[in-house]
Amino acid sequence: MRAFALAAATIIGVVGFARSGFAIDDHRAVRTFVETALAQIRADVATQPPGTTVYLENGVLPFTLTGPMINQAMLPGRAALFVLVAPSGVLDGRRVRFVEPDPNVLLYQDRAPKLGALLVPPWEATPAGRAVAPER
């Protein structure tokens, strides 16, 4: 009797699962955004000569990536993605810095030194915003 009940429960569970349409969300939109953002950073950096500092706009990450509880000060834009692939802040012989206009986000240096070091205020970058300055 127990074996029959176990077999019946297993069959009901498998059939129910198969008919439910249940699927694990692979967050394809977020993965695509991250891949595209990192590819754009690499492309922008590659246009400048080695030994220079490249200043890029930091931007804001989309809501689909951050969710309702994480704001720009907690996960500061493209710099937060870049630090995952280049924690030293150097990519192909070029220093990369992200221009961040929000002074509250610039306080991130106190919480995460590697990430905070990538963020610079607009006045520290060259006038064009997305530009290059010689290595100091």
Nearest C-alpha neighbor of 103 from the set 91, 119, 86, 80: 119
Name the domain count of the chain.
1
Q: Does the residue 55 lie in any domain?
A: yes
Model pLDDT for residues 42-89, shown as the tens digit of each residue: 999 999 999 999 999 999 888 887 888 887 778 889 999 999 999 999
Model pLDDT for residues 91-103, shown as the tens digit of each residue: 999 999 999 998 8
- Give the DSSP H/E element, type plus range, for residue 105: helix 103-106
Q: Does the residue 67 lie in any domain?
A: yes
Q: Residue 130 has what pLDDT? A: 46
Q: Does the residue 74 lie in any domain?
A: yes
Domain that holds residue 109: 28-134
Q: Does the residue 16 lie in any domain?
A: no
Model pLDDT for residues 61-70, shown as the tens digit of each residue: 888 878 888 8
